[in-house]
Chains A and B, each alone.
Chain A
């Protein structure tokens, strides 16, 4: 149980294009999902908290107009990197909390490696 998927696992795009990353909870419902960014040999940096049916909450320093988050259902959140630039290249990981459990664990997806040329 508690499986989270991400798609795509890898994406290479040209500078100036937009890229959408999907995060799905496969066997549980998730009112809250989280988007992280991880740099090589560094820990996870929380970008935003995604809430089903409402606006995402962004961390300080994260541009909400650049990183668009939509949480349209209890099992799907999407992150769109708009007008991507090489500095946006990174490993993006989502996580989800099981709404049906009174527990705080976050279950992580496998990550998406974004390379912007």
Chain B
């Protein structure tokens, strides 16, 4: 059974068109939820950690939020350089990460 589900699978936005990516998790006892950005042929780049429902983190045009069942990555006024795959991962023990399959974001100039 999948621990983490990300949607949509792919998203195309016009430059400046804000949107949100979703990450939902199925098992209780979450210890932490993580967002990463991955460019083609590269390793994931760490963005945010969220530990408790109601927590929010921001970095430039990105804002991550967490509820008891899901997390959202909000992208405000995206630019073409924000194009990448965004991965969500959860951990219950602190060691093993369960990754979603990612959302491939394309921002069109």
- A113 located at the interface, meaning its Cβ lies under 8 Å from any Cβ of chain B in the complex: yes
Chain B, residue nearest A94 (CB)? B43
The residues of B with any CB-CB pair to A shorter than 8 Å are: 31-32, 34, 36, 41-46, 49, 87, 91, 94-97, 99-102
Do B44 and A104 touch (CB < 8 A)?
Answer: no
The residues of A with any CB-CB pair to B shorter than 8 Å are: 2, 4, 6, 32, 34, 42-44, 46, 49, 91, 93, 95, 103-111, 113
Do B41 and A46 touch (CB < 8 A)?
Answer: no
CA distance A11 to B42 in the complex (A): 15
CA distance A93 to B94 in the complex (A): 19
Chain A, residue nearest B100 (CB)? A43
Chain B residue numbers with a CB within 8 Å of A42 are 101
Do B42 and A105 touch (CB < 8 A)?
Answer: no
Do B95 and A32 touch (CB < 8 A)?
Answer: yes
Chain A residue numbers with a CB within 8 Å of B46 are 2, 105-108
Do A111 and B49 touch (CB < 8 A)?
Answer: no
Chain A, residue nearest B32 (CB)? A104
Chain B, residue nearest A10 (CB)? B41
Nearest 9 A/B pairs, CB to CB: A108-B43, A43-B99, A43-B101, A111-B43, A108-B44, A44-B99, A110-B43, A104-B94, A104-B32
Do B101 and A111 touch (CB < 8 A)?
Answer: no
Do B43 and A109 touch (CB < 8 A)?
Answer: yes
- For B43, B46, B87, B91, the residue with the greatest tally of chain A CB atoms inside 10 Å of its CB is B43
CA distance A109 to B100 in the complex (A): 19
Do A105 and B34 touch (CB < 8 A)?
Answer: yes
CA distance A44 to B43 in the complex (A): 10
Shortest Cβ distance from residue B16 to the other chain A in the assembled complex, whole angstroms: 27
Chain B, residue nearest A107 (CB)? B46
Do B87 and A44 touch (CB < 8 A)?
Answer: yes
CA distance A117 to B36 in the complex (A): 32
CA distance A73 to B40 in the complex (A): 30
Chain B, residue nearest A109 (CB)? B43
Q: List 20 A-B contacts (CB under 8 A).
A: A42-B101, A43-B99, A44-B87, A46-B96, A46-B97, A49-B96, A91-B41, A104-B34, A104-B49, A105-B49, A106-B46, A107-B46, A108-B36, A108-B43, A108-B44, A110-B42, A110-B43, A111-B41, A111-B42, A111-B43
